[in-house]
Amino acid sequence: MVDRMDGGRIRDLSGGVNQRGVRDYNERLLLSILQRQGALPGSDLARRMGLSPPAVSTILRKLEAEGLLLRGSPVRGKVGKPSIPMELNADGILSVGLKIGRRNADILLLDLAGNTRDQISTTYDYPLPEIVFQFLERGFGKIIDRLDQSAQDKLCGIGIAAPFELWKWNDLEGEAAEKFKSWRDVDFTSEVQKFSHLPVFVVNDSTAACRAEHLFGRGKEYRDYAHFFIGSFIGGGVVINSTVFEGNRGNAGALGSMSATGPLGESRQLIDVASLHLLEARLLQGGMEADLLWRKPQDWSALMRFVEPWIGETAQELAKAALSVCSVIDFEAVLIDGAFPAEIRDELVARIKRYLVHQDTRGLIVPAIKSGSIGVNARGIGAAASPIFSQFFLNANAGLSALRSPAS
């Protein structure tokens, strides 16, 4: 399997270091720049990293030899030798991701460029542990069987995206409810090691969606932003200093738990007033099949008499939530995405913008409200990206933990 790069100190993306023993940092920095900027020649990389051209050349040769980089076509200028841009080799690394949702689960095979190479999906009434891990084991086996030995050797890990405190969100009773509570004691790594020795990376599902957008979507356009992802339950993520910030316990950006107000003035959370489970309930009350929401490819055209009022109500709540998050951190943008068709997302964003006009914005800088670009697969893509990001790219916020005292 691909070796991990165990890095040392983390700084921002503006400069590297020449000292021996910290080459892994420079490798991560170089790979991160190419991931965000695209193909660049060595001279540009040296300038961006603050390293000498020979130092960058050495790193490029090493990463190319490991299969992580490819040479592009020479670019000829007016004078001097042509420059040769270097780019990420999509085939250089592969990773597997599992998304655990309320009604469905997905297993994805992802490459270094963020392309989904393979995908297997399933649906269920509730994600009980035995159902989910049976699906993961069988699905993982199918994906592996479709790969030749060379591709299998490039697998770097398995990422799992699951809701925070998964065991708390169910309306089951009796024996089924007790089985669901067993999620509290599940050791994801131990479960995966029953059928694979790949390293396991567990991440909050909404954080995973945010990471997918940041690495492979519109997140490249912004340095600091908030990300809302609307699934059965709404969740979120935050990006600070061009890196997804997970927080001390991995639950930063728990935007679904933001305070909201119910129709009778009662205290609620955002998940209670701006989630797809509300639309699902309305479909059931109207005699419709709720699984129409989760079928792929998604087509909600027959559901619009239920979807339209849901969009209006959700937009009002998200307009208020967008301003609330910006009262804490001066985000330049708020990105909106979810497990729905692109046209639903775009209409939701348009409505949020209209509702923002009527909000009290005193003391605030109103953020840009933008559509995300990944869509329904964001959580699965983010799960699969976690092993790649953790082992090969630069986490510009990781060094913040060094500032805490051991007792904190």
In whole angstroms, how far apart are CA 365 and each of 223, 337, 370? 16, 22, 15
**Could you give the CA distance from residue 6 to residue 8 in angstroms, rounded to a whole number?**
7
Calculate the CA 288 to chain-centre distance. Answer: 31
Report pLDDT for 20: 38
Angle at 60 between CA 58 and CA 65, to 5 degrees: 100
pLDDT recorded at residue 172: 60
What is the pLDDT at residue 143? 97
pLDDT in tens, 303-348: 999 999 999 999 999 999 999 999 999 999 999 999 999 999 999 9
Mean pLDDT score of the chain: 88
Give the CA angle between residues 124, 158, 103 to the nearest 5°: 15
* Amino acid symbol at 324: S
Give the pLDDT score at 80: 66
Per residue in 209-256, pLDDT tens? 999 999 999 999 999 999 999 999 999 999 998 889 988 887 889 999
The answer to whether 179 and 124 have CB atoms below 8 angstroms apart is: no
- Mean pLDDT over 148-164 rounds to 95
Of 35-39, 64-68, 201-205, 294-298, the poorest mean pLDDT is in: 294-298
**pLDDT at position 71:** 94
Confidence of residue 21 (pLDDT cuts 50, 70, 90): very low
Contacts 24+ apart (CB under 8 A), 102-106: 102/126, 102/127, 102/163, 102/169, 102/231, 102/232, 102/233, 102/277, 103/232, 103/291, 103/294, 104/294, 105/132, 105/135, 105/136, 106/377, 106/379, 106/380
Share of the chain above pLDDT 90, in %: 72
The pairing of beta strand 40-41 with beta strand 85-88: antiparallel
| Whole-angstrom distance, CA of residue 314 vs CA of residue 154 | 42
Name the more confident of 171 and 26: 26
Indicate whether 6 pLDDT > 70.
no
pLDDT confidence of residue 175: 72
Confidence of residue 405 (pLDDT cuts 50, 70, 90): very low
Q: For the chain, what is the HEC assignment?
A: CCCCCCCCCCCCCCCCCCCCCCHHHHHHHHHHHHHHHCCEEHHHHHHHHCCCHHHHHHHHHHHHHCCCEEECCCECCCCCCCECEEEECHHHCEEEEEEECCCEEEEEEEECCCCEEEEEEEECCCCCHHHHHHHHHHHHHHHHHCCCHHHHCCEEEEEEEECCCHHHCCCCCHHHHHHHHHHHHCCHHHHHCCCCCCCEEEEEHHHHHHHHHHHHCHHHHCCCEEEEEECCCEEEEEEECCEEECCCCCCCCCHHHCEEECCCCCEEEHHHHCCHHHHHHHHHHCCCCHHHHCCCCCCCHHHHHHHHHHHHHHHHHHHHHHHHHHCCCCCCEEEEEECCCHHHHHHHHHHHHHHHCCCCCCCCCCCEEEECCCHHHHHHHHHHHHHHHHHHCCCCCHHHHHHCCCCC
Cα 310 to Cα 188: distance, rounded to the nearest angstrom: 35
For 16-38, what is the mean pLDDT?
75
Q: What is the pLDDT of residues 345-392, one digit of tens each?
A: 999 999 999 999 999 999 999 999 999 999 999 999 999 999 999 999
Q: Give the pLDDT of residue 4.
A: 41
Q: First-to-last CA distance in the chain? A: 36
